[in-house]
Amino acid sequence: MVHMFDVEKIRADFPILGREVNGKRLAYLDNGATSQKPRQVIDSIVRYYSEHNANVHRGVHKLSEEATFSYEEARRKVAEFINCSEEEIVFVKNASEALNLVMYSYGMANVSPGDRVSISMMEHHSNFVPWQALAKRRKAKLEFVDIGGDGELVGLEGVSGSKIVSLSHASNMLGTINPVDEICRVAHEGGGIAVIDASQSVPHMPVDVKKMDCDFFAFTGHKMLAPTGIGVLYGKKELLEKMEPFLFGGDMIVEVKKEGCRWNEVPYKFEAGTPNIEGAVGLGAAVDYLNGIGMEEIRKHEVELLSYALGKLRDEVTIYGPLDAEKRTGLISFNVPGVHPHDVATILDEDGIAIRSGHHCAQPLHDRLGLESSARASFYLYNTKEEVDRLVEGIKKVKRVFA
């Protein structure tokens, strides 16, 4: 696969990648948990605090106007990035809050006793626990889409008739990319709505919520080069307008009287209090950075890297999820036979290689696979084949240690 992608030039934008850990050059392979930040994002936050710091929407002085412009410009950039209107972008602190917002503001009002709510066995806890709580509170039936031996969803047609279908675009453990267009179609044909957890897809591939026709779409900034504490909920405007607010306080109201109050228009109705302004500014800068490279190019790079890694690791470890790189995002969850994943991660860290170990906030999926935990190496636009080689050599070292 040949494409224009200068990974060394990209790496130069990330100050932390020049670090050494335990005397070895850092190989950061924990991008599924959080990504590193380019200098352009860091500089945007410093510039905001150095030159424009003020509260948004509430002041007529110059700094407030500049802060408001930067905050709303970030909303515009995000809307364009996923192809929707600015009114349909609600800033939250992360995907977990976005999904909780949908559960409380939409689910509690629209799900009745006996209704069905569908999720899958591969969901992150953030897209599992809220619906479990909703089903309990509303006396609804929580149903689960199963997975096959290849790590792909099976029996999707079974979600038809569910009031809410909430599934991940891509699994944070298996890497599986799910057929979101089909998920949304089946949900709508059965009279329900489709909620998509896109935390593991938006950073890695082009997305289009209008083409997908999802009703809600949640993702987080810190996995896509932006700061922590900023996330996004996309919701169809007609649904957001009907929903009650999730949080109450400043800026989400137009008028407050002793007798009651009137809510602000969407999306501000869902943004109570002073928002994470610098987080939004950083997210806008991250979107600019990703657009400058091109999401198609990032996806090509990750598929190439993933294909290389799968080929190298296949004979060394037990890999979970599809073995076809085109069917998964750039992460590989695995186990070294006879070695606990924490031990794998600890030995790799001695050589400056950062991976994840545990259940990756996907305990029901691990239970389904008969596992207590797994190790996970997750790649992004700045990772290289040389780092994959270091990972493979590190795993061979693990096997020697525990031989």
Active site residues per annotation? 361
Q: Of 132, 141, 238, give the one whose Cα is nearest residue 193.
A: 238
**Which helix H or strand E contains 220, and what residues bound it?**
strand 216-220
| Backbone φ and ψ of 88, nearest 5° | -95, 5
Residue 211 near residue 181, CB atoms below 8 Å: yes
| Backbone φ and ψ of 48, nearest 5° | -60, -50
Secondary structure (DSSP) of 127-185: GTHHHHHHHHHHTPEEEEEEE-TTS-EE-GGGGTT-SEEEEESB-TTT-BBP-HHHHHH
Secondary structure (DSSP) of 254-312: EEEETTEEEEPPTTGGG--SS--HHHHHHHHHHHHHHHHH-HHHHHHHHHHHHHHHHHH
The rounded distance, in Å, linking the Cα atoms of 341 and 336 is: 7
Residue 247 near residue 225, CB atoms below 8 Å: no
